[in-house]
Amino acid sequence: MATTVARARPSSLDDPFAIHMAPPEGETPDERVLRIAAQQNAEKTSRQIDEVLQQSKKLLEKKEKDVKILLLGQSESGKSTVLKNFRLRFTPQYFDSERAAWRMVVLLNLIGSVRVIVNAIESELEAPEFSLVGDTHRTLCGELEPVIREEGVLNRLISPSHITGDVYVRPGGEWKSILASSEVAKNTAAVVISLRDEIEALWADTAVRELMEKKGISLRDGGGYFMDDVARVTAPDYLPTDGDILRARIKTMGIEEHFFEKETAPGTRGVKDFWIYDVPGSRGSRAVWIPFFDMVQAIVFLTPLSFYEVLEEDTRVNRLEDSVVLWKEICANPLLQNCQIILFFNKMDILKAKLKGGLIIKEYVPSFADRPNTYAGATGYFKEKFRAYHKRSSPKPRSFFYYETTAVDTRSTAKIIGAVHEEIFRKHLQESILI
């Protein structure tokens, strides 16, 4: 009886890659060692790639479940300041490692204010007849020229698109590391410090204050806060406070994505992580908003009640009218019908100051008519306007959330942000059937 011998099938039939991994004919022992080591390295690299892809998949799945908040509003509406408030509210130590960079931003704001004042004085001096300023001011402007030149130096250092008078930086931390450690930045600080007395003299001059008022120039909303505190912010050992960082202004280009991990007590239910997206507010950049509409759970919409101003990028358009148009479009968008839309009337400190200075609302808003020309009268009137647009424009009924904010007031804004955060998460949990 013949004996049947079982023979193994060629491994290449089981593994199509075996033929490529098989030892070559005439392989020496040393070559074998090298080949096996190469195979092991290749397998290790493959496993590492698989682990990275798996981790990326898990992070993406987690991100899809996290709450996402979109900050919207026109340029200069205060989105960046509100974002900083979120940082202070949920990650209070976040700015500790960045204070050296923000110091330079504060000094840039100070330089910008000096430039605005010097330009106003020089314009007045060129007039056929001038009475508010004279040769003393001309001399002072000349002494401050080195300070003004430093603005351009720093712009070229950190701005991808240099625009005189403004600094535009890309999202991310690269510009911060440059400002914190660059020798160029240190030299700028030294120049500003050396001319601190001249800057203080400029701001203390009553004729200069009268000239600014005559020309309708206000520095309050453009980093001018630091002109009232020159000695402190130009001290050699100065580091910005949280309040200084909130007031410091620097413009960004592009979309910023920020992750927040909110600490929760052990055993509590709910989602603790959330994302905030800060998108450009200029008229030419608003198309980038749309891709975010079908992924966010809440929108924080910011609008200052700046009915007395026009847009910086288009002086034919009233700032508040532009906000109203945006508000109606956001409320009516079908992609956002299930999204919470939270209205912030921001920069209310500026409105209060304007009213105290004699601003007459009905001169800018005829429909305001004979209502009380007060802060309460203004906020009440515009609140009902926005509420009505919200109700009429929304595809289906939803709650109207509204807050009056002064984003540079950390204490009051922290309370508001805490309330907004809790409301957003409460609704998210309800929809997730977690409560």
| Residue 179 labelled as part of a binding site | no
Supply φ then ψ for residue 367, to 5 degrees.
Answer: -70, -10
| Residue 347 labelled as part of a binding site | yes
| Residue 354 labelled as part of a binding site | no
| Residue 123 labelled as part of a binding site | no
| Residue 45 labelled as part of a binding site | no
| Residue 60 labelled as part of a binding site | no
| Residue 398 labelled as part of a binding site | no
Supply φ then ψ for residue 226, to 5 degrees.
Answer: -75, -15
113 contact partners, CB below 8 Å, separation of at least 6: 219, 222, 223, 224, 226, 227
Strands (E), 131-278: 168-169, 251-252, 256-261, 273-278
At residue 257, the 3 state secondary structure works out as strand
Q: Give, in order, the Cα–Cα distances in Å from 65 to each of 70, 268, 432.
A: 15, 18, 10
Q: Are strands 256-261 and 273-278 parallel, antiparallel or unpaired?
A: antiparallel
| Residue 248 labelled as part of a binding site | yes
| Residue 349 labelled as part of a binding site | yes
| Residue 136 labelled as part of a binding site | no
Contact 222, 347 (CB under 8 A): no
| Residue 374 labelled as part of a binding site | no
Return contacts of 22-31, CB within 8 angstroms, 24+ apart.
none
| Residue 348 labelled as part of a binding site | yes
Indicate the residue type of 76.
E
| Residue 373 labelled as part of a binding site | no
Question: Structure tokens of 217?
Answer: 């120039």
| Residue 81 labelled as part of a binding site | yes
Half-sphere exposure of 337 (CA within 13 A, CB side): 6
Binding-site members for GTP are: 76-81, 246-252, 346-349, 407
Annotated binding site: 76-81, 246-252, 346-349, 407
Provide the annotated binding site for Mg(2+): 80, 252
